[in-house]
Structure 1
């Protein structure tokens, strides 16, 4: 399977600098048997790492953690901080404004597919910044 990724030039340069550093470090340490690091491999590794983060919390999205505790989200604050308008999130995710408002105000249970759609639109912030556990009222 082939996937094309579009990224900002500055992001690409940051990744390239890391790869250059890894290759230089391996060369300096005499690790000639170590294959040269590639940008593609770094991106694959980053995707796998993020997937593991997401897999570790995904069962939490559709259920209560335990009696008296609920999973809540901070999407509204993250969107505001990133200056992403709700209407833009609706356009990218296909959510209706009313539903997004309910999710942003933690008045609607967040399904995994909805979580991922919003999470991707917000630029994949760290999971621990997106979700928290709160005692039920």
Structure 2
């Protein structure tokens, strides 16, 4: 059996009202679909804490270190966006449609002829579901 610790929290009345509205909405959804949603205050707060912890862990995974990215290196930046897309069973035309990037420009990025601008990178990154950056870029040391 896992160890548990009890805590007491104080919430603003407005926050409690918002939680009540969400719980009511969740209960309505669960009448029509099989959802795993919180149905009471305790489950809602536990779920919110877990969600927040997961977001923080995701942000933590984006920490860029000098060691990982060889910041002082003259090595070319390369991407593995095409390989990541294949792993996600996405096609170039899917990314082009989701991002609005012209197929020719996207082809140049995927083949490493060009690296994406910040704007294109953000579009592609969001279309891919915001994976850790180190899964999309590396320094070519050859």
| TM-score past 0.5 threshold | yes
Residue 59 (structure 2) pairs with residue 51 (structure 1):
yes
TM-score by length of 2: 0.58
| Gap runs ≥5 in structure 2 | 10-41, 65-69
2:35 paired residue number = none
Could you say what the CA RMSD is over the residues aligned between the two structures, in angstroms? Answer: 3.1
Distance 1:94 1:66, change over 3 A: same
Q: Indicate if the aligned counterparts of 2:79 and 2:115 stay in contact, CA closer than 8 A.
A: no
Q: 2:112 aligns with which of 106, 121, 124?
A: 106
Residue 71 (structure 2) pairs with residue 65 (structure 1):
yes
SS at match of 2:85: helix
Residue 47 (structure 2) pairs with residue 42 (structure 1):
no
User: How many residues of Structure 1 are paired with residues of Structure 2 in the alignment?
Assistant: 106
| Gap runs ≥5 in structure 1 | 1-23, 58-63
Deviations 1:78-117 (A, max 9, x none): 1112210111111111111111111111111223332232
Deviations 1:40-95 (A, max 9, x none): 332233333333443x34xxxxxx93343122110101111221011111111111
TM-score by length of 1: 0.60
Q: 2:123 aligns with which of 117, 124, 128?
A: 117
Q: Distance in 2 between matches of 1:76 and 1:102?
A: 11
